[in-house]
């Protein structure tokens, strides 16, 4: 049976225009916290219980710092906005200090081999992840108007952290992208004739600002689902973007077919984008902007595969040869 308390939190966050994935993440950690405190109502607990919960995530579950921070944000939201009992600013808990994993970087030949066996229906999207350094969700959420053919770039809106950025577009993909837009247009023509069709999904602010945008071609997804579906939040018929799990499965299948022994995921295609740019002499600040990293230290992790390393250090063993 669904929890009325969690349902209330969901409805409150939805009314305050939180993103669907943010709501899902917060509910996950709030539920984990409630289970941790023995299903006592959170209003009867406070700082001490939250500190024990966060320390447990670090000590027993060895959780990554970002995951622990998300758990803290979730519980903090619960106490501040739902229970009106804000947590102390001086919480004392054991912070996670797990070292981040080094990225799996494919060589140019491995990327070529992988893309050569990708299902043709999903090839273009995978080429964009590698060719433009897009995250999976950034790629599947692209709209027709996000492709700028005049300046060979892609506008990424509301990426990770809600940030916007402009990334490069490989000229080799122009023909394929125009063909993809033609496919979107064929879906669009059929959908508009459907009297039950309510247009594409738009974020709340945009839907209010541009009330007719949902039924215009430019706002429709570049990689649409092959069937219409009901938007569960408003019960309206829409054509959503392709499900990201379809792309994840396609990449895994291609990885097996190409006999790549490395662990390959969709995000793996983003790693060689950064590394190969650096190998070609691109400035690290430029790569940082292309990837949308807030901190350049996140970008610097890709220099580990470059022959001389991030600081141009040559191994002394090389002097013996």
- State the Cα–Cα distance between residues 77 and 63, nearest whole angstrom: 20
pLDDT of residue 315: 64
Active-site residue, from 10, 122, 141, 270? 270
Task: Look at residue 205 and give its three-state secondary structure.
Answer: helix
* 220 is an active site residue: no
Residue 67: predicted pLDDT: 92
Give the tens place of pLDDT for each residue, 2-60. 789 999 999 999 888 787 888 999 999 999 999 999 999 999 999 999 999 999 999 99
Start-end of CATH 1.10.150.130 domains in the chain: 4-82
Q: Which of 122, 239, 271, 293 is catalytic?
A: 293
| Residue in 48, 85, 160, 304 annotated catalytic | 160
Cβ atoms of 9 and 78 closer than 8 Å: yes
Q: Which H or E element spans position 9?
A: helix 4-15
- Mean of the per-residue pLDDT values of the chain: 90
Give the per-residue pLDDT at 310: 44
The confidence score (pLDDT) of residue 321 equals: 61
- Catalytic annotation, pick one of 31, 52, 236, 267: 267
Q: Is 293 a catalytic residue?
A: yes
Does the global pTM surpass 0.85?
A: no
Mean pLDDT, to the nearest integer, of 289-305? 83
Place 298 in a pLDDT band, splitting at 50, 70 and 90. confident
Note the residue count of the chain.
Answer: 321
Homologous superfamily, domain 100-309: Intergrase catalytic core (1.10.443.10)
Range name among 29-43, 91-105, 270-284, 296-310 with the lowest pLDDT average:
296-310
CATH 1.10.443.10 in the chain, residue ranges: 100-309
Helices vs strands, H then E, count in the chain: 13, 5
Let me know if 238 is a catalytic residue: no
Query: Is 302 noted as a catalytic residue in this protein?
Result: yes
Catalytic option among 77, 130, 197, 302: 302
Q: Quick check: is 43 catalytic?
A: no
Least confident of 203-207, 212-216, 248-252: 203-207
- Give per-residue pLDDT as tens, 128-181: 999 999 999 999 999 999 999 999 999 999 888 778 999 999 999 999 999 999
Q: Which one from 122, 135, 141, 143 is the annotated catalytic residue?
A: 135
Domain range 4-82, CATH architecture: Orthogonal Bundle (1.10)
The pLDDT of residue 318 is: 63
Residue 1 scores a pLDDT above 50: no
Give, in order, the Cα–Cα distances in Å from 155 to each of 9, 181, 182, 217, 308.
33, 16, 19, 17, 33
Angle at the Cα of 94 from the Cα atoms of 89 and 96, rounded to 5 degrees: 105
High-pLDDT (> 70) share of the chain, %: 93
Residue 270 annotated in active site = yes
């Amino acid at each position: 049976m669904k929890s009325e308390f969690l349902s209330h939190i969901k409805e409150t966050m939805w009314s305050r225009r939180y993103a669907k994935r943010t709501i899902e993440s917060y509910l996950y950690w709030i539920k984990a916290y409630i289970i941790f405190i023995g299903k006592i109502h959170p209003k009867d607990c406070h700082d001490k219980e939250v500190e024990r919960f966060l320390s447990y995530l670090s000590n027993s579950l060895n959780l990554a710092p970002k995951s622990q921070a998300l758990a803290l944000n979730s519980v903090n939201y619960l106490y501040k906005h739902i229970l009106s009992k804000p947590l102390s600013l001086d919480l004392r808990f054991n912070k996670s200090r797990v070292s981040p994993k080094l990225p799996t970087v494919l060589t140019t030949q491995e990327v070529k081999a992988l893309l050569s066996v990708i299902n043709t229906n999903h090839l273009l999207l995978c080429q964009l992840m590698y060719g433009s350094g897009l995250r999976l969700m950034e790629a599947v959420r692209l709209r027709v108007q996000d492709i700028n053919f005049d300046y060979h770039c892609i506008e990424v809106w509301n990426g990770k952290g809600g940030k916007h950025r402009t990334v490069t577009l490989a000229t080799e993909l122009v023909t394929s992208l125009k063909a993809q837009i033609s496919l979107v247009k064929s879906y669009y023509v059929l959908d508009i004739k459907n009297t039950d069709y309510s247009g594409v999904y738009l974020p709340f602010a945009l839907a209010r600002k541009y009330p007719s945008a949902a039924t215009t071609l430019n706002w429709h997804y570049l990689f649409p689902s092959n069937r219409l579906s009901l938007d569960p939040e408003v019960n309206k018929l829409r054509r959503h973007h392709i499900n990201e799990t379809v792309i994840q499965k396609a990449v895994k299948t291609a990885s097996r077919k190409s006999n790549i022994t490395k662990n390959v995921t969709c995000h793996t295609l983003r790693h060689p984008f950064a590394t190969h740019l650096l190998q070609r002499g691109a400035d690290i600040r430029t790569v940082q902007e292309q990837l949308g990293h807030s901190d350049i230290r996140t970008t610097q992790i890709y220099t580990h595969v470059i022959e001389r390393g991030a600081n141009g250090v040559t191994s002394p063993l090389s002097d013996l040869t």
